[in-house]
Amino acid sequence: MLKEARQCVESYFSNSSAEKNYIKLLDLVRSTCNDEWRNIKNGMIYRIYDRRDKQDAYALKTNEKIAIALVNIAKQQDKKPKDISIDSITDIIGITIVTHYHDHIDFIANKITNALKSKRIICQKPKKIEKNGYHATHIVTTSDMHEHRGKSCEIQIKSVLNDVWSARTHDLTYKPLGLMDPRIKKVFEAFGDALDAIEKQSALLREMIEEQWRSEFYWRNEVRKELLESIPVWSIHGKIAKRIKDKIDREKSRYQFCAITNNKLQNIFKSVDHLEKKSPREAYIIRAYLALLRGDEGEIEKTTKIAKDWMRGAIELLQSKKIDEYELWSIPLVLLACDKFEDAIESSDEILSRSDLLTEYSRAAVKFNKADLLLWNAMQHRPTNDDELEKLKTEIELLIADSKILFEKDDTPYLDAIGMIEVIFSNQPSKIRNGIRNIQKASDNASTEDKRIAEATLELHSRYAWRRLMEIEAKQT
């Protein structure tokens, strides 16, 4: 029967158009998958490949493997190989999509099948294959286009670990199982199943980490919003700026969640654009307020540019005593609220380079705010080099030491800062615990008007502090 099948395969592919049409279908399926790879966010897909990437640039299964597949189908249908269509073999060509995580497979399968249907490629229901230690999801696709109608391409979707395992065992596992020692077969199955279990556990671990990130991201945003609300520069607002902010506040949820094309929102933007021409010192903070409310990165970028441009003019205006000092040192705080750490630190340094224009209190405010900026940045990007870590710690401590005038009446910010220094820079659990106590004390001591930002800051800093404590204790056990 195999001899007859070989003759059928050889005869079928003696027509050069048969192979060319399979390759055309393969290219169409792969290009469609590549398009979806670019469209799918969050790096779900690790790579996409076909046989040309792995087997000496030959796109199709070998004639021998096709003949064996033909024999198997003939036996199942109780027919002769010559009575079976070669096109009924569904994996003559194939694509492999490798995902970073096991739990992304269903989402990717859905996206791919929807994209292929729009190209007149019929997709069977995805089928999970879990056999002999092999774990993947297969999708059989069949063309309904004239040049390769009826021909199929099999898509395999598997995780990185399962892809590596199947690649390592391909030649052995594709041998007829009857020729394999049952003990070896069991070992293959055990290894494959163990890797699949690890894959699922890693997906669970990723979910836990992402949940923690989302939680901390939420509290970072809350602190940024409260920080923006508390900045003293709000007091400079004239009638137009106050009217715009009041209008936003009256329908805050509308402006937060409505589409960018919403007429009321567009009117707000037009009002801010108009205000920017007359008074950039007022417009940039209104724009920041709206950008943070909506989480609009485009507006945040505009705010950053306007704030930096305004600062250059503000230094000149301060020099001629046409503005108050706090208007200048509020600029880095607005940039911090916009999550622009580098711009905020750079603007702080620029202001400090003209510290001769500032009173002692304002100099202290700028220095303390810079120390706070460096602490915020270190929370997210803690230096791994010991020398860099010590250098950063020293810089922060010196800035805080130069800011003592700020804490004569209220030591709340100081307690929080020294608490975070211990949490970020210490590797001793006892010091980190002491840092946590100082962070808590800062929140307890906060004045009524500062209570909202103090509570949001406490939540963010406490989450980071306890996580860091657990990491240190885990390393020491």
The verdict on 168 and 294 lying in the same domain is no
Closest by CA position to 284, among listed 328, 226, 342: 328
Phi/psi for 180 (5° steps) reads -100, 135
Say if residues 439 and 476 touch (Cβ distance below 8 Å).
Answer: no
The verdict on 247 and 348 lying in the same domain is yes
Average of per-residue pLDDT across 35-43: 78
The verdict on 268 and 133 lying in the same domain is no
The verdict on 136 and 34 lying in the same domain is yes
pLDDT for res 175: 47
Residue of higher predicted confidence among 349 and 173: 349
Is position 322 within any domain? yes
Residues 125-182 pLDDT 10s: 999 988 777 789 999 999 999 999 999 999 999 988 888 777 766 655 554 445 556 6
The verdict on 175 and 64 lying in the same domain is yes
Domain at 51, CATH number: 3.30.460.10
Tokens of 201: 């556990």
Is position 212 within any domain? no
The verdict on 245 and 128 lying in the same domain is no
What percentage of the chain reaches a pLDDT higher than 70?
85
pLDDT for res 150: 93
Is position 208 within any domain? no
Is position 166 within any domain? yes
pLDDT for res 401: 94
> Which of residues 155, 181, 207 is at a domain's end?
181
Give the SS3 label for residue 338: coil
pLDDT for res 477: 61
Q: Specify the length of the chain in residues.
A: 477
Residues 368-415 pLDDT 10s: 999 999 998 898 888 888 899 999 999 999 999 999 998 888 888 899
| β-pair type (121-123, 127-131) | unpaired
pTM above 0.75, yes or no: no
Phi/psi for 152 (5° steps) reads -115, 155
Residues 227-264 pLDDT 10s: 677 666 555 667 888 888 888 889 888 888 888 888 99
Q: Which ranges in 321-448 belong to alpha helices (H)?
A: 325-329, 331-337, 341-352, 360-380, 386-401, 412-425, 429-445
Domain count, the chain: 2
Is position 216 within any domain? no
Average pLDDT over the chain reads: 84
In the block, residue with structure tokens 């936003």: 248
Instruction: Point out the least confidently predicted range of 17-26, 177-186, 220-229, 274-283.
Output: 177-186
> Which of residues 291, 323, 358 is at a domain's end?
358
Residues whose CB falls within 8 Å of the CB of residue 455, separated by 6 or more in sequence, listed in order: 443, 446
Tokens of 225: 């919003």
> Which of residues 326, 358, 390 is at a domain's end?
358
Say if residues 12 and 92 touch (Cβ distance below 8 Å).
Answer: no
The verdict on 256 and 131 lying in the same domain is no
- Helix, strand and coil in the chain, % to nearest 5: 75, 10, 20
The verdict on 176 and 235 lying in the same domain is no
The verdict on 24 and 136 lying in the same domain is yes
Closest by CA position to 304, among listed 347, 270, 267, 243: 347
Which string of b and e fits 168-203 if b means at least 16 CB within 10 Å?
A: ebeeebeeeeeeeeeeeeeebbeebeebbeebeebb
Distance of CA 301 to the CA centre of its chain: 19
Is position 379 within any domain? no
pLDDT for res 394: 96
Is position 395 within any domain? no
The verdict on 143 and 237 lying in the same domain is no
Is position 391 within any domain? no
Average of per-residue pLDDT across 317-333: 86
Full residue range of the structural domain in which residue 118 is found: 2-181
The verdict on 31 and 170 lying in the same domain is yes
